[in-house]
Amino acid sequence: MASPVILHGRGIVEGKCVAEALVSTKPISFLGDVDPATGKIIERRHSLYGKCVKDKVLCFPHGHGSTVGSYVLYSLAKNGLAPKAIINRRADPVIVVGAVIANIPMIDQVDVNQIRTGDLVEVDAHKGTVKVLKSTAEELAKCT
């Protein structure tokens, strides 16, 4: 295996985890894009439509939408359906407030294009680092 890729950003909500990445190139609104009862992306035009955010490191450029999205993120956490961490290129206040009240580690100022869905990543929001431990690109290369 190649050396792990380490991405540096700004830690916003402290915490650590290791989990599988779920990555989107599109912004996410927790009010309207995510079903608070299932944790699934329900916006039909979204690239992650039908995927569940539960226990994933959710990586996306930034949030958008209503301030109620913060409460939806909190509700996901209370129901055991929240992501383990959130990684953004640019922090949106709605996502930050939701991550704070739900106690979800969050880092921004990260190039989320360096992470692929299915990568195993280690998030350390104390240090502001995201380490790609196991890359799906490496796994795919082994199969060819």
Instruction: Show which residues are catalytic.
Output: 66
Distance CA 7, CA 106 (A): 14
Of 65, 61, 82, which is closest to residue 73 (Cα–Cα)? 82
- The number of beta carbons lying within 10 Å of the beta carbon of residue 51 is 16
Q: Which residue in 28, 14, 5 sits closest to 128, CA to CA?
A: 14
The label of the residue with tokens 């295996």 reads 1
